[in-house]
Structure 1
Amino acid sequence: MLSYTRVTKWTCTGLVVAVLAACAAVNTTSSGTVGVDRKQWMSGLVSETELNQAAQQNYTQVLSQARSQGALDKDAAQTNRVKNIANRLIRHVDVFRPDARAWNWEVHVISSNELNAWCMPGGKMAVYSGLIKQLNLTDAELAAIIGHEMAHALREHSREQVSQQMATSVGLSVLSAVLGQPGVQDLGGRLSEVMFTLPNSRQHETEADLIGVELAARAGYDPRAAITLWEKMAAVEKGQQQPEFMSTHPSSTSRINELRTITERVMPLYQAAPKA
């Protein structure tokens, strides 16, 4: 008769193998001029379609709540400004993935003092009025933010994170079952955060910077505005609580230094692009 421990180990090993087998290395986007070509591990258990459907439901809820509070697209001129900038950027998403031109892109402005902006899977975006007003953003700086958030959706960073979380969750369950130690879950959670969440978050932010700057340049917005944007962010950050928009981002100093290199690379695209 097999012992319980051996059965458990074999069962857990089978679970790990099943999860890993369901993962595949993919390229969600082309590399573009900026050269984003990292392979991403995606789980077949988390489909793009399902995640987009979930994003649509969440987006509908967010918009409904903002509408009930009288905070959705409250300033018509501001909303039109954001939509116009977003539409110019959307025209160039096929450089990174042609199928994204057919996405049902949508952007709204939510009246809030938060310095925040985001783009859900499938192109569902929101920009918070506090970000625009408090930083006194130029059109080019706003394009840098919107392009950055669009890049997260193009690269399917959310699906990548969900895939990693699923694999990590199974791995931690296996470790806990095999070792039979009650403290493994807590220790594993900390290890998981260090090994996966933080490094990948920073990597995702760098990729979003690269793609966002190229989208802005191709749309005719000066890519150097990304530098002035983060200089403004750095000024806000000093002596204050970190804005939500920056909560998982690299430090402003390192980001600005990287952006100086990136913007030089895409300046020819900006110089060749129509400015209207």
Structure 2
Amino acid sequence: MNSKFILSLCAASVITISGCTTVAEMAGADSSTLNVAAAQGFNKTVQEASANKTLDTSSATYKRINAVFLRLKPYADQVNQTGQKFSWQLAVLKSDQVNAYVAPGGKVVFYTGIVNKLNLTDAEIAAVMGHEMVHALEEHSKNKIGAQALTDLALNIGLSAAGNNVGQLGTAAAQLGSQVGIGLPYSRSLESRADQGGLLLMARAGYNPQAAITLWEKMNKLDGAGGSSFLSTHPSNSQRIEAMRKNLPTAQAIYNKR
């Protein structure tokens, strides 16, 4: 799977029926349904990655990502207001791709490239993890998921455009991506909410929220060199970083009280 594949999924859009009603809601895709479907997709991704020997469960990079995940998880549970208990799970995939995403119900997927290529500190890993966890906690994927026909359309468009370049990670990761909206950029308002919520979450877990700024500065630098697929689904620019700086005092106060 590569950046061309991810970008190709942008062709699939979510249809708004009226007001805030989406195809997902019309199709009965409530929180419980979405969480179950995401869990199935996540399990297939893990199984396929294991078979392809791209599932990382022992490297130093995996251990760092997992430690951050375990440290943030109880704080994420504390702010879960979805009405559904999350069964948080983490999959770390061996890939140079700079990316991470989360599926409904707390299924987090990290690519080793996002840590290794950016030389992330643990606090910067927490900034990515917190950002993605907030997307799940606020159920932002509901804004991107339509009826099964749209899910299939997203997958078919993505696989067709990718051709033989789907990559060694396999089609399960691609399918999960189409289901949860990876490649379908969140609106700036949802990204801002994930940024702000992520700052607070990492601060509660004892990670200095200043690291979120350095993370996105690294992302922007890599994006300028044409090397970040993460930014194809997570718009980042100077205005976004500036907005995060404005939210820092609240997060910093939480961090300083620990």
TM range (shorter): 0.7 to 0.9
Q: Which residue of 2 aligns with 1:207?
A: 193
Q: Which has the larger radius of gyration?
A: 1
Q: Is the 8 A contact 2:216 2:236 kept in 1?
A: no
The 5 A counterparts of 1:74-113 are 74-97=57-80, 102-113=85-96
In 1: Cα distance, 2:20 partner to 2:120 partner: 44
TM-score (norm 2): 0.72
The 5 A counterparts of 1:27-38 are none
Q: CA RMSD in A?
A: 2.9
In 2: Cα distance, 1:101 partner to 1:158 partner: 15
Cα offset, 1:201, TM superposition: 2.0
The structure whose RCO (Cα within 8 Å, separation 6+) is larger is: 2
Q: Which residue of 2 aligns with 1:5?
A: none
In 1: Cα distance, 2:245 partner to 2:77 partner: 25
In 1: Cα distance, 2:32 partner to 2:91 partner: 22
Identity %: 37
In 1: Cα distance, 2:219 partner to 2:21 partner: 37
Q: Which residue of 2 aligns with 1:185?
A: none
In 2: Cα distance, 1:66 partner to 1:94 partner: 27
Q: Which residue of 2 aligns with 1:262?
A: 247
Distance verdict in 2 for CA 1:210–1:127, change over 3 Å: same
1:249 aligns with 2:234: yes
1:125 aligns with 2:111: no
Give the residue type in structure 1 aligned to 2:128.
I
Q: Is the 8 A contact 1:90 1:101 kept in 2?
A: no
Distance verdict in 2 for CA 1:22–1:204, change over 3 Å: closer
In 2: Cα distance, 1:164 partner to 1:96 partner: 28
TM-score (norm 1): 0.68
Q: Is the 8 A contact 1:116 1:131 kept in 2?
A: yes
The 5 A counterparts of 1:4-43 are 20=18, 23=21, 43=26
Q: Which residue of 1 aligns with 2:35?
A: 52
Q: Which residue of 2 aligns with 1:238?
A: 224
Give the residue type in structure 2 aligned to 1:49.
S
Q: Is the 8 A contact 1:117 1:127 kept in 2?
A: yes
Cα offset, 1:239, TM superposition: 3.5
Q: Secondary structure at the match of 2:214?
A: helix
Q: Secondary structure at the match of 1:66?
A: helix
In 2: Cα distance, 1:129 partner to 1:201 partner: 26
1:224 aligns with 2:210: yes
Q: Is the 8 A contact 1:218 1:269 kept in 2?
A: yes
Which region of structure 1 is more displaced relative to structure 2, 117-126 or 155-164? 155-164
Q: Is the 8 A contact 1:22 1:44 kept in 2?
A: no
Q: Moved runs in structure 1, 4+ residues, more than 6 A?
A: none
Distance verdict in 2 for CA 1:65–1:59, change over 3 Å: same
How many residues in Structure 1 have an aligned counterpart in Structure 2? 209
Q: Which residue of 1 aligns with 2:13?
A: none
